């Protein structure tokens, strides 16, 4: 009876936190930062880096735009590319941001913002409330926090694979709180404090990030079950692995590519630790395929309603 009611209300038999999708071409969603009276498209320059508090990192090029110091900024997540006049109309989520820190580099800055308040419009407000109070509400999750998490996930977050080794200890696990600044030769990670590898990564200041095709989803999610516990022995893994060129870290043989990264800076964001790194070596083995992304369930419902969906992974 319960699944029948859920399907009648939402068109889905099961309620999930996030949907796994496969994206091979352009991402339809866009993200715009309102700076004074202008809207800046930061879609490929914004990353969710912490969940409690919700922290966003937004890169600003010195030659593109500068942020005028501390203050409140607003981020708009839209379901399509939008002109300046259409950003608000096409928004599925809005987030008020407070700038609290930044990392300066020669070409610009990684600006760090805390989410202060959020509004979400993916589906009707009545259905959003029903979903939260019937399915998502937990003792430590408020409605405001829930809205901030949904809002800041409303641009598809690519899942990548992290590898680490220190002597006999190793770990391989997926992450979606990270970002690549190719033009600046930098990488940013938001790694949860509960991850057993974090102290070792900070100590050795080395990490490897790999790209993989979306059809490896199931085995990648199996690896994700061990990021907060002792990893399985290498002999028990259901795939062959290879060593990276410089660090000699283990990566699955089916990855498309990997980057070996030196950690330059760390910053405690709350539930997650920011790692700011410099790629020092890269290897590509296969051309890019469709990749695995996460979107919030509410965005999945919206896209389904309008008949414009990503392929399920």
**What element of type H or E holds 51?**
strand 46-51
Of 255, 245, 250, the residue nearest 279 (C-alpha) = 245
- Report how many domains make up the chain: 2
168 and 151 both lie in a single domain: no
pLDDT of residue 1: 46
CB 92 within 8 A of CB 121: yes
Range of the domain at 108: 28-155
185 and 132 both lie in a single domain: no
Query: Rounded CA gap, 156 and 21, in Å?
Result: 9
Supply the pTM of this predicted model: 0.93
Indicate which CATH number applies to the domain containing 124: 2.30.110.10
189 and 87 both lie in a single domain: no
144 and 163 both lie in a single domain: no
82 and 146 both lie in a single domain: yes
pLDDT digit string (tens) for the chain, length 313 residues: 456 666 767 878 788 899 999 999 889 999 999 988 889 999 999 999 999 999 999 999 887 777 776 667 999 999 999 999 999 999 999 999 999 999 999 999 999 999 999 999 999 999 999 999 988 988 889 999 999 999 999 999 999 999 999 998 999 999 999 999 988 999 999 999 999 899 999 999 999 999 999 999 999 998 887 655 566 667 667 788 999 999 999 999 999 999 999 999 999 999 999 999 999 999 999 999 999 999 999 999 999 888 888 999 8
124 and 210 both lie in a single domain: no
CB 29 within 8 A of CB 78: yes
């Amino acid at each position: 009876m319960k699944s029948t009611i859920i399907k009648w209300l939402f068109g889905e038999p099961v309620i999930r936190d996030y949907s796994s999708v496969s994206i091979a071409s352009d991402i339809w969603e866009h993200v715009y930062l309102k700076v004074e009276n202008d809207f800046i498209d930061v879609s490929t320059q914004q990353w969710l880096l912490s969940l409690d508090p919700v922290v966003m990192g937004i890169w600003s090029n010195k030659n593109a735009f500068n942020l005028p110091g501390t203050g409140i900024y607003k981020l708009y997540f839209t379901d399509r590319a939008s002109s300046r006049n259409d950003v608000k109309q096409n928004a599925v989520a809005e987030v008020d941001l407070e700038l609290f820190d930044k990392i300066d580099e020669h070409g610009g800055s990684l600006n760090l913002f805390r989410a202060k308040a959020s509004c979400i419009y993916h589906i009707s407000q009545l259905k959003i409330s029903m979903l939260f109070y019937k399915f998502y509400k937990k003792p430590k999750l408020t409605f405001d926090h829930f809205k901030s998490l949904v809002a800041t996930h409303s641009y598809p977050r690519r899942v990548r694979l992290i590898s680490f080794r220190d002597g006999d200890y190793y770990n391989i696990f997926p992450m979606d709180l990270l970002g690549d600044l190719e033009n600046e030769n930098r990488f940013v990670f938001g790694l949860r404090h509960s991850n057993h590898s974090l102290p070792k990564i900070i100590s050795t200041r080395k990490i490897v990030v790999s790209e993989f095709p979306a059809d490896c989803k199931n085995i990648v999610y199996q690896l994700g079950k061990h990021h907060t516990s002792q990893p399985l022995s290498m002999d028990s893994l259901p795939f062959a692995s290879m060593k990276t060129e410089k660090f000699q870290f283990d990566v699955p043989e089916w990855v498309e590519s990997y980057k070996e990264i030196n950690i330059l800076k760390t910053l405690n964001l709350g539930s997650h630790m920011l790692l700011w790194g410099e790629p020092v070596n890269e290897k590509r083995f296969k051309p890019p395929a469709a990749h695995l992304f996460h979107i919030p369930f509410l965005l999945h419902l919206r896209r389904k309603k309008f008949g414009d969906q990503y392929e399920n992974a």
